[in-house]
């Protein structure tokens, strides 16, 4: 008999409609599947919309998983979809295990017509029990994605996630003993000013700037600001486009490298921000 721990954290997968909209209220005992040959233990860790996820929740989740893994063949984490990429990256960079830790959720609440919750949960539990996918992965709508490479591409379609670039975290970090400094994530737009970046950089671990296409920065005061900031903190250039950055391709990308900024390469914005937080708080 395989043993799987199913940890609930809230999200749509545990949601019910109310006068205030969808609220995560269902407990694990009502969500856990019955599958021959697999003993599922439900553990309700917290019950929040994933928009409310903060490092304090990651700490509780990390501690619970590391303490529980010796007693189970695998772990399933039921999680809201909006910050799934951040949680996946945190666990992928910090958990050292050859057992499956499978994240999943749903786009529709369990009581909705044609809900995807039941199918996603059952699939995740089977994958956790089988042991083929070791370490942290997302199981969602039939896709299996490495925990450090998750990107949400739809707020309505059931097949809502994609692999960002095929990135697999190689380096592991200790989970920070304290929260420390957080990275500032800035999205480059034609309306972004250098002073905006300078202001948000105060008391931060560094800057993660999500840019366009293959990556690059404009030829204006932003170049000067990043040149100054990179002298005292890490500056990483990412892109919202699937596949990652290539700062050597265009002049605007080489301009970013000349400031001292780092090419995120295959790391998504979420992944780069998480790794910056972890690496600067070791």
Hey, which residues are catalytic here? 12, 81-82, 152, 250
The Cα 48–Cα 160 span in angstroms is: 20
| Cα distances (angstroms) measured from residue 112 to each of 108, 116, 137, 181, 185 | 6, 9, 26, 41, 35
Radius of gyration in angstroms for the set of CA atoms belonging to the chain, rounded to a whole number: 20
Structure tokens that stand for 171 in this block: 């380096």
Count the alpha carbons within 13 Å of 254 in the hemisphere toward its beta carbon: 4
Closest to 86 in 3D by CA, of 131, 55, 41, 110: 55
**Which residues 6+ apart lie within 8 Å of 160 measured at CB?**
81, 107, 140, 141, 152, 153, 154
The Cα 261–Cα 183 span in angstroms is: 14
**Which residues 6+ apart lie within 8 Å of 38 measured at CB?**
1, 2, 3, 4, 125, 126, 129
Structure tokens that stand for 66 in this block: 């590391």
- Provide the 10 A C-beta neighbour count for residue 86: 21
Pairing of the two strands 15-18 and 21-24: antiparallel
């Amino acid at each position: 008999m395989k043993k799987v721990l199913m940890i609930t954290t809230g999200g749509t997968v545990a949601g019910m409609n109310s006068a205030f909209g969808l609220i995560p209220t269902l407990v694990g005992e009502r969500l856990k599947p019955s599958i021959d040959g697999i003993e599922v233990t439900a553990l309700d860790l917290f019950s929040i919309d994933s928009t409310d996820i903060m490092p304090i929740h990651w700490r509780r989740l990390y501690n619970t998983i590391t303490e529980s893994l010796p007693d189970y063949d695998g772990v399933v984490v039921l999680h809201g979809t909006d910050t799934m990429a951040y949680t996946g990256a945190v666990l992928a960079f910090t958990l050292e295990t050859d057992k499956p830790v499978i994240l999943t959720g749903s786009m529709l609440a369990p009581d909705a017509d044609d809900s995807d919750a039941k199918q996603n949960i059952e699939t995740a539990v089977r994958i956790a029990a089988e042991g083929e996918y070791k370490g942290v992965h997302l199981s969602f709508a039939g896709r299996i994605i490495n925990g450090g490479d998750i990107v949400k591409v739809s707020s309505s379609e059931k097949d809502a996630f994609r692999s960002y670039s095929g990135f697999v975290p190689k380096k592991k970090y200790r989970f920070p003993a304290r929260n420390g400094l957080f990275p500032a994530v800035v999205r480059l737009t034609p309306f972004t000013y250098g002073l905006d970046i300078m202001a948000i950089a105060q008391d931060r671990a560094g800057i993660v700037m999500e840019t366009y296409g293959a990556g690059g920065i404009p030829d204006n005061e932003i170049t000067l600001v990043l040149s100054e900031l990179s002298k005292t903190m890490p500056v990483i250039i990412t892109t919202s486009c699937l596949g990652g950055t290539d700062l050597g391709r265009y002049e605007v990308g080489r301009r970013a490298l000349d400031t001292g900024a780092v090419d995120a390469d295959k790391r998504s914005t979420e992944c780069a921000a998480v790794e910056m937080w972890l690496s600067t708080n070791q």
